[in-house]
Structure 1
């Protein structure tokens, strides 16, 4: 009797935690585990603002899958279509070749992409904070604006290069704005012909409060810290339109600006739409035990799944956070193990551990287990949480060493140039336009393909 094949799609928190636990609980004779991912690391997203500002190196937040996973087969590519009737997944490998993988159990964790809201210009002129490439590009770009502003021939050009807009007052946007504003404040001291007062960072959010999940007291504390630093925070406002050198806000202001960082929420991976299954605001509808109704052997969890929030009850679904994704990964692994062995599945339950927001230096606000903290105690909790969540010793060491080195010697303001020629559009960084139509999926999965499902090729790219 052949071993059942468990196919995990996605190497974010949910997918990696699931594969890691499956390895621990299932023997090599119990099942074959395969992981589909275009990268060979688990990206620790909460620390991307540290990479964008140069406090940490990219390697610190890219946790090696080959250190974490000992016997999982890693397929270097991205899933671009799913045919649940034939239990097949179409994968585009990183060299462009397309293959079809068959499964007995499919664990869908494709994650999310940056939500754009169909605002004119955002798709072409905004960049998100979802990938290492985006973080590297942002750092190079921000420093480049200082370099170019220092030799600008007109006041108009200088003003547009020294204004920066971050959209989204959640954790990603707030931390990104805080860290990058701190970077430019230090960097401008090395530019003798630049007036630091000309640098303006704008944090914009349509919500009436900054990070409402923190509660009014801590939210106000964070607002006070950032305002005192010189950030211009506009709440109840969003972007109406953007061009290459302007950002127009919904309150009528037109800001000269060549840097628009977009963190205004996330949308589920477009992969979910290729399935034709019921969704809730784009997220795949799942049962409380993470199974997909009507699709035997399919589990979904993480950002792309509408997992019922049993703790809140009613129609509530779990928010797309790293904390939920990790824990859902553990539950999914246990349920797949139960399915393999014929045992009952269990529902996903959680207890909120609280929230941490790192604002740079010794500034932070945190709410561990509901206890509000600010300043140095909050920073210790925030960084301690991140170190604990990193899954390998090498990642923890690199991160802790990076923080220590930065605190001792300060920032460097070097452009690496690796991303200099990279397009700065969301689709180019997040590959949102690579997915197949339903007809294309069926052509690849049912067009005469045969074999044991060990990754048969269906089309190779032209030479």
Structure 2
């Protein structure tokens, strides 16, 4: 269940290691691609085309897996039935012997007035394309307006979240608007204002103090106002109120303040930590027969750190957990011992656009072009198909040579889309509904 980093890594390993005829493999996913999430900010800024980061499942897989185009909306572990809503709206029931839950995550939100209606996320391909159109639309509308108040609100952009997603999004889009000024001679460069805010006291604390300060310095040198210890108190269609009392004219609020496990996880009667399913070191949901969970849906113990530490929801862990889960499913089928998930951290990379980057591969701190080379080299090598690698590399070269384009492609709708519109968070069954559905199936034979 799920075609993110964890799900695709699991399927690829199952296809490679299972003997033909030994098992049937089914992948449930609403989209026919694996989204390379770390490069979404470059899609939003137009450096990469959407197709570049949508890695086709039909190319990256062998022809042994049945792909069901839909999303799991409930699972009955006792009846061993997965309830799936196909993209047509049809409900189908898939029986299973073993199920690997890798449904990923959604944008984490809070009970902030106006947030759900007026904020935009950066979690899906549609959101990245929408935000690009929206930002360029604000430049177009400000350029055409004679109302100074309207221009001020359209040219102020606020990004909430000082993690990797928020920092890279703010940096990439600020670079886009900065380069756009040569195409908008009526706009005053001083009117375009970018804000990056986070309730945490540090920017990307995982980088360490020195690299964190370096990244902060790069952003501020480029004119991005960074406010730490601050969040949003209220969000409106034309202004945003910060928790420090500031009220700013603003029509673009991008929300990247963390993630939460897929709502599918809440349909299980099993122990959870921070909304994620508790799993054993072998990635099994111990209370449920034949159920494995990984990636953002699982609170997997971090055996490297020990104690009560759990693995963070990162692509590195998802990829490796997918392979371990596949090995353990095969071991369970063959009645062999399961192995525990352990890892060695490869480091962190942060692409701030252009020649700006900070990276920490294997604990080595890098800045500038060396860091940029490591960041892009890592992302390029992590793409699953040669076609995807060729597209991304071509886009990078073309952007470096020809510069940015400022074309709205039509995703900008008359009615602004909300977070729920993009992430389908209200599509899931309750545990009681799943059990009732299973009882109906059993009664029908």
**CA offset at residue 448 of structure 1?**
3.4
Instruction: Indicate yes or no: 2:283 matched with 1:290.
Output: yes
* Maintained 8 Å contact 1:109/1:302: yes
TM-score norm. by structure 1 comes to 0.94
For residues 37 and 338 of structure 2, what CA distance do their matches in structure 1 show? 30
**CA offset at residue 53 of structure 1?**
0.4
**RMSD over equivalenced CA pairs, Å:** 1.2
5+ residue gaps, structure 1, are 1-8, 453-463
* Maintained 8 Å contact 1:146/1:188: no
Residue correspondence of structure 1 range 313-462 to structure 2 within 5 A = 313-421=306-414, 423-449=416-442
Describe the SS at the equivalent of 2:82: strand
Segment drifting more, 150-159 vs 79-88:
150-159
Q: Which of these residues, 203, 207, 214, is aligned with residue 221 of structure 1?
A: 214
Instruction: Indicate yes or no: 2:125 matched with 1:132.
Output: yes
The match for 1:198 is 191
Instruction: Indicate yes or no: 2:28 matched with 1:36.
Output: yes
Describe the SS at the equivalent of 2:144: coil
For residues 79 and 170 of structure 1, what CA distance do their matches in structure 2 show? 29
The runs of 4+ residues in structure 1 deviating greater than 3 Å are 448-452
Describe the SS at the equivalent of 1:150: helix
The match for 1:455 is none
**CA offset at residue 439 of structure 1?**
2.8
The match for 1:62 is 54
Deviations 1:266-293 (A, max 9, x none): 0000001111211111000100100001
Describe the SS at the equivalent of 1:434: coil
Deviations 1:307-351 (A, max 9, x none): 000000000000000010000001101111111111100110000
Residue correspondence of structure 1 range 6-17 to structure 2 within 5 A = 9-17=1-9
For residues 122 and 333 of structure 1, what CA distance do their matches in structure 2 show? 39
The match for 2:305 is 312
* Maintained 8 Å contact 1:126/1:424: no
* Maintained 8 Å contact 2:347/2:360: yes
For residues 329 and 100 of structure 1, what CA distance do their matches in structure 2 show? 24
For residues 425 and 412 of structure 2, what CA distance do their matches in structure 1 show? 19
Instruction: Indicate yes or no: 2:133 matched with 1:149.
Output: no
The match for 2:37 is 45
For residues 391 and 430 of structure 1, what CA distance do their matches in structure 2 show? 24
Q: Which of these residues, 250, 260, 265, is aligned with residue 267 of structure 1?
A: 260
**CA offset at residue 359 of structure 1?**
0.4
* Maintained 8 Å contact 1:44/1:61: yes
The match for 2:243 is 250
TM-score norm. by structure 2 comes to 0.98
For residues 71 and 412 of structure 2, what CA distance do their matches in structure 1 show? 22
* Maintained 8 Å contact 1:100/1:445: no
* Maintained 8 Å contact 2:270/2:287: no
Deviations 1:20-64 (A, max 9, x none): 010000022111000000000000000000000000001110000
* Maintained 8 Å contact 1:189/1:196: no
**CA offset at residue 438 of structure 1?**
2.4
**CA offset at residue 425 of structure 1?**
0.9
For residues 398 and 377 of structure 1, what CA distance do their matches in structure 2 show? 23
* Maintained 8 Å contact 1:140/1:420: no
For residues 437 and 222 of structure 1, what CA distance do their matches in structure 2 show? 43
The match for 1:75 is 68
Q: Which of these residues, 87, 92, 99, is aligned with residue 106 of structure 1?
A: 99
Deviations 1:111-162 (A, max 9, x none): 1000002212111111111100000000000000000011223111110000
Describe the SS at the equivalent of 2:103: coil
**CA offset at residue 197 of structure 1?**
1.1
For residues 369 and 21 of structure 2, what CA distance do their matches in structure 1 show? 50
* Maintained 8 Å contact 1:100/1:444: no
**CA offset at residue 189 of structure 1?**
1.6
Describe the SS at the equivalent of 1:424: coil
**CA offset at residue 437 of structure 1?**
1.8
Describe the SS at the equivalent of 1:134: helix
**CA offset at residue 424 of structure 1?**
2.1
5+ residue gaps, structure 2, are none
For residues 192 and 310 of structure 1, what CA distance do their matches in structure 2 show? 57
The match for 2:15 is 23
The match for 1:208 is 201
